[in-house]
Amino acid sequence: MRRKPIELAAVATAAVPGLTPTAVSSAPDDPADFDSALLLDSEGKRWRVRSPRHAEASARLETEFLVLRAFAPAIRAELPFLMPTVAGSVRLGTLSTFVYSHLAGSTRSVEELTAGPDVLAREIGVALAAIHDLPRALVNNADLPSYTPNEFRQRRLNELDQAATTGKIPPALLLRWEHALEDVSLWRFNPSVVHGDLHEDNLLVEGQRVTAVTGWTDLRIGDPADDFAWLVASNEQDFVDAVLDAYTASRRDTPDNHLLRRAALSAEFALAQYLVKGIASDDSGMIAEAEEMLATLERDVQEYGGQPISVEPQPASVAGEPGPAGKEPVVRAADAGATPSVPSVTVVPVPVPAPVQPAVLVTPIPAEPAAGARSGGSPADGGAATDNSRDQGLATSGTEAGDFAGPDDTSTAAITIIDPTKSQAGS
């Protein structure tokens, strides 16, 4: 249920004892997650109230409370801008509402910021550099998320898979984002402290100065390009370049060359994240708005090419290969009947070799003459007896030969054939 500013004023009196509101107005914030209001009390002080609309938003406010408490006075003193201070909180059911001390300055639209003087662009660049140069121990000690480049890239791939399952992401955008996430050369950067939710509503400006930065609900160690996404989405290249120049000059570490490419990916992918959030909350208005913005982005990419993202050129889809999440492949001109290209490898048939001669030439052993022919008898009257005698002689001689040739010698050359009829005649 959405809370009206007057209701938030009543909640604030419970969070901060002695607070007596005399005036109240709405404050810009993320309407899907928070209800916000600005209060003026009887002493002329101003306060800001943020009330979450669901459990996830409440958890983010509680995280911000831990983050702001981790910023010691010494760290705050080194920053070129002010940070909010929590004055009190109250729990309504399962959700926690927080009251903050008001900071000087006001929010401006992206159009007002980009149309502003160059000194304002330099102020934003210096503020970004100060955030990214914060000590990493600040995040680690608060037990906040920390990602290496590869972990961050894998996290985005998982989010892309989740978005693809909705079936509402245009296939051309899925291929574009998937190719960028698989381009490993794009993801070589030094992780730093990242605000995580930086946009025009979290910058307070007074004159030509950035006076305060708010919305510290997503502080983490990760990709510094995420804090540039809202700038790249403005499509004001001169303004972005001015911010980047001031940022580079103020950073202790030199930014990587692909920071703005990843920022463009983050800006585009935010539409898919917005769609997933709308589906999770069953908000038909968010879903319809996200689908419309995704369709507009798809048309812009197809017509103008979109912001450059991948370092490596995106390859053409091959017919028959499914895209991400089972999407139908894009049919190119070559797949629609164009002359196929000649393969780069020529296949030559291997000739069948001629029969190989054996290494050992085996000559057949000639058959022994019939015993009957040697003794002068005919096969009719003595062949059978003679054959029988020869068989007995083979058996006897084989045994004798085996005694000299060894038990493993099976060669017929070691067998001596003795004719028993000749032996009897000689005796």
Cα angle for residues 338, 344, 350 (degrees, 5° grid): 120
Mean pLDDT of the region 282-290: 92
User: In the structure encoding, which two tokens stand for residue 99, read together?
Assistant: 């009251």
Spatial distance between the Cα atoms of 36 and 2, rounded to a whole number of angstroms: 10
pLDDT of residue 173: 95
Least confident of 30-44, 108-122, 288-302, 325-339: 325-339
- Of 198, 33, 27, 175, the closest CA to residue 105 belongs to 27
Spatial distance between the Cα atoms of 174 and 51, rounded to a whole number of angstroms: 35
What is the torsional sign of CA 374, 376, 380, 383? negative
Q: Which residues lie below 8 Å from residue 368, measured CB to CB, with a gap of 6+?
A: 417
Rounded to the nearest angstrom, the gap between the alpha carbon of residue 232 and the centroid of all alpha carbons in its chain is 22
Mean pLDDT of the region 399-421: 46
- Helix/strand/coil for 121: helix
pLDDT of residue 364: 56
Mean pLDDT of the region 246-261: 94
Mean pLDDT of the region 142-154: 93
Spatial distance between the Cα atoms of 276 and 166, rounded to a whole number of angstroms: 8
pLDDT at 171 over 60: yes
Spatial distance between the Cα atoms of 290 and 173, rounded to a whole number of angstroms: 14
Spatial distance between the Cα atoms of 341 and 348, rounded to a whole number of angstroms: 18
- Of 59, 57, 11, the closest CA to residue 34 belongs to 57
Spatial distance between the Cα atoms of 389 and 377, rounded to a whole number of angstroms: 14
pLDDT of residue 235: 87
Mean pLDDT of the region 39-45: 89
One-letter amino acid for residue 166 of the chain: T
pLDDT of residue 366: 55
High-pLDDT (> 90) share of the chain, %: 49
Kindly list the domain boundaries of the chain, sorted by start residue: 19-101, 110-314+322-331
Residue 40, strand partner residues: 23, 46
Least confident of 171-180, 227-236, 300-309, 329-338: 329-338
Q: Does domain 110-314+322-331 have CATH number 3.90.1200.10?
A: yes
Residue with the larger pLDDT of the pair 119 and 394: 119
**pLDDT band at residue 400, thresholds of 50, 70 and 90?**
very low
Q: Do domains 19-101 and 110-314+322-331 have the same CATH topology?
A: no
User: In the structure encoding, which two tokens stand for residue 409, read together?
Assistant: 């010698």
Residue with the larger pLDDT of the pair 284 and 32: 284
User: In the structure encoding, which two tokens stand for residue 18, read together?
Assistant: 């002695």
Q: Which residues lie below 8 Å from residue 317, measured CB to CB, with a gap of 6+?
A: 175, 323, 329, 330, 331, 332
CB atoms < 10 A from the CB of 219, how many? 26
pLDDT at 70 over 80: yes
Q: Which residues lie below 8 Å from residue 23, measured CB to CB, with a gap of 6+?
A: 39, 40
Backbone φ, ψ for residue 215 (5° rounding): 70, 50
pLDDT at 165 over 60: yes
**Alpha-helical regions (H) of 50-187:** 55-70, 73-78, 110-114, 118-132, 136-141, 149-164, 171-182
Least confident of 6-20, 22-36, 130-144, 358-372: 358-372
Least confident of 95-109, 179-193, 239-253, 395-409: 395-409
pLDDT of residue 336: 37
Taking all residues of the chain, what is their mean pLDDT, rounded to a whole number? 79
- Of 49, 43, 42, the closest CA to residue 27 belongs to 49
Supply the pTM of this predicted model: 0.70
Q: Does domain 19-101 have CATH number 3.30.200.20?
A: yes
